[in-house]
Structure 1
């Protein structure tokens, strides 16, 4: 881990993004990895998990070889949605998880960027990147809960514009020495101040979680990848082709950027149970799940983030079955 934290000591980045440990663990052309969306606990009939064994389960996921743990950004409990994700704030929680795990990528899926102050977020993400030895993956979204925006005094209808503006500020201060910018919403810097520390490589790897009110072309040009909701299997090729076209339109022929999908998973005890759609994901036995993942990989999709919180089985059973029978077919890099 870099110890160059003072302005005069900061060296010009010499690594490319694909040499970032967290990014490299997840993404490689024509390969597929498997991650888990937090919490690591099943609670199909309750809005909140107990988080009773969250530390031991995170350590277990790391040792079993899952590619990533993904944390959602849900600041308040809204009974309309009935879901509080992993309870703990993702930024604080990643700092904790960085200390108890060693290899697994730690990502946000995703930080609601229009509700975050980008200068503070930049400091937090760069710090976590160092504290985790380069395992930090920033996923950013525009948020999908209109009721939250008034709590922060933010107009919901401006979230797309705020997303782009906040992201520009974030990139500027994490990548440039003594940056200069003027943002209508997020202040200005005049070249007299420096963000310390910078991320451990060229920049903090950043992916879009959903389209964040942006075009696919804008995401392809400005972010390092896309993680979206898993489509019906019949539309996998369409989703993958749309992303490939957007990347080539933005960056030119021959360029590629990673695409991932996320889904709820109710893993059936019957290994031969067919894959069936459910809201936000699938119910499947492990053989039909493997078939789906093989189809995902064949379309050039690079990562699948599974959320088994809806399963009726104990999470540890689901995790161990995935590790024994699924991960060997789609190993972490």
Structure 2
């Protein structure tokens, strides 16, 4: 079995009631930086940041309106970490012209020394699209072409070019170039169109909360679609795990949380690798920044070595 990579969606930068812990509401930039540094020194492959421009009132109670900008946030975190990669999970790239996104993400990759992973998704908040003048009904088609345009604009050429139905550019030089010769593009989403997009256009797949029992079928579909298209390049297949707590919790962490001794947690997670998953995104239950940092460090020291 090869090594199962692991990363995490950062707390604080997005605070949907689906997953945010109560302490995050009062957290600040120092807390965010310390969590990222803990992941960095604990061997995490990436830290991730979400993307929303604005949350309508009808969704604000559930989603909250706290969503940090991914480019600004990951650029800041690049400066306080050393090796951990920086993932957008996911950037709603259809909300912005791809040449503008390319300028931002090329600069981020350059400043971070080549640590960017560009995760992209179609988006789901109609009011965001309407406010920015983007056709919500065609967001899938917009994303498809945006991926093609971004791949061209984030390549090695100083004067990239792209000509499509929605976007066209050429003869416009952009420096700095990304530090990576090829920025990986991971496609998010679990719907049939999203899985097809990941298979045909992505370097990786970021599922959106698929339960364990659904993953084998999704992975088989990804492999079939790539094989039918004659794509031989490897695809990094991801999974979002159940919420974790390393050790025996002395408080109620929820019945769907995987908890216990490090070897038991590791055994549970190795099942993902057996399905064909290459990287897992983990999230820990916590009551404070200190407890979260302790969980990150325990995972890196005691669980991660057992994931291969």
Q: TM-score range by the shorter chain?
A: 0.7 to 0.9
Q: 1:106 aligns with which of 44, 66, 86?
A: 86
Whether 1:55 aligns to 2:33 is yes
| Kept in 1: contact 2:190–2:208 (CA 8 A) | no
Whether 1:248 aligns to 2:223 is no
CA drift of 1:249 comes to 2.0
Q: Which residue of 2 aligns with 1:270?
A: 248
Give secondary structure in 2 for the equivalent of 1:111.
coil
Whether 1:192 aligns to 2:168 is no
CA drift of 1:53 comes to 1.5
The verdict on how the C-alpha distance between 1:79 and 1:90 changes in structure 2, with shifts beyond 3 A counting, is same
Q: Which residue of 2 aligns with 1:284?
A: 259
CA drift of 1:80 comes to 4.2
- C-alpha distance in 1 between matches for 2:166 and 2:90: 21
The verdict on how the C-alpha distance between 1:232 and 1:214 changes in structure 2, with shifts beyond 3 A counting, is closer
Return 5+ residue gaps in structure 2 as ranges: 14-18
- C-alpha distance in 2 between matches for 1:145 and 1:263: 25
Return 5+ residue gaps in structure 1 as ranges: 1-28
Query: How many residues matched?
Result: 294
The verdict on how the C-alpha distance between 1:100 and 1:244 changes in structure 2, with shifts beyond 3 A counting, is same
Superposed CA RMSD in Å reads 3.1
Give secondary structure in 1 for the equivalent of 2:79.
helix
Q: 1:65 aligns with which of 29, 34, 43?
A: 43
Give secondary structure in 1 for the equivalent of 2:124.
coil
Q: Which residue of 2 aligns with 1:322?
A: 299
- In the TM superposition, 1:139-218 aligns within 5 A as 139-175=119-155, 176=157, 178-186=159-167, 188-189=168-169, 191-211=170-190, 214=193, 216-218=195-197
Q: Which residue of 2 aligns with 1:26?
A: none
- C-alpha distance in 2 between matches for 1:82 and 1:34: 25
CA drift of 1:209 comes to 1.5
The verdict on how the C-alpha distance between 1:94 and 1:289 changes in structure 2, with shifts beyond 3 A counting, is same
Q: Which residue of 2 aligns with 1:133?
A: 113
| Kept in 1: contact 2:37–2:80 (CA 8 A) | yes
Give secondary structure in 1 for the equivalent of 2:154.
helix
Please give the per-residue CA displacement for 1:30-88, whole angstroms capped at 9, x wherever unaligned: 43111110126994347846234222221122111111101111233441433456x42
The verdict on how the C-alpha distance between 1:99 and 1:45 changes in structure 2, with shifts beyond 3 A counting, is closer
| Kept in 1: contact 2:12–2:25 (CA 8 A) | no
| Kept in 1: contact 2:10–2:35 (CA 8 A) | no
- C-alpha distance in 1 between matches for 2:287 and 2:188: 27
CA drift of 1:118 comes to 0.9
Give secondary structure in 1 for the equivalent of 2:240.
strand
